[in-house]
Amino acid sequence: MPTASRTEGGGGGRCRWLAAVVVVVVASALAQRGTATADQPSRGKEVYELRCMPCHGTSGAGDGPAAAAIVPPPRNFRNADFWRGRSMAQLRLVVKQGRPGTLMAPFEGVLSEAEIDDVVAYIQSFRPQAK
């Protein structure tokens, strides 16, 4: 009596291979997201000039055209105290969610994830150099 032939693993090998590819692609995308690229600040400058400059000013000193009417005043990104213990992730969160108790509006849904990353990279260009 002939027995039915059974292929070991069936389509499971293909599924495992596809799952491995997905894991590698997602891990690569996540790793790149946390890594600043050379062109992020230049792309971020465009976003900053349109969305942030009216309050934070051209040079990031918190002295934009609207700043005089804002209480509390916009952040001065040139102030070394502002940068103490501040991470890129924290800056990103403020751009995304805004800042309660201030006029810093949330930009989630207004800016793309890439634009948020770009503007945060540009804001870091205002950080004073350590002496």
3-state secondary structure of 42: helix
pLDDT in tens, 14-61: 545 444 433 333 334 434 444 456 677 889 999 999 999 999 999 999
For the chain, domains (ranges, CATH) are 40-126 (1.10.760.10)
Q: Which tens digits make up the pLDDT trace of 62-94?
A: 999 999 999 999 999 999 999 999 999 999 999
Whole-number Å distance between alpha carbons of 92 and 4: 59
Residue 53 one-letter amino acid: M
pLDDT at 78: 97
Region of 57 on the Ramachandran plot (φ > 0 left; ψ -120 to 50 alpha; else beta): left
pLDDT attached to residue 31: 40
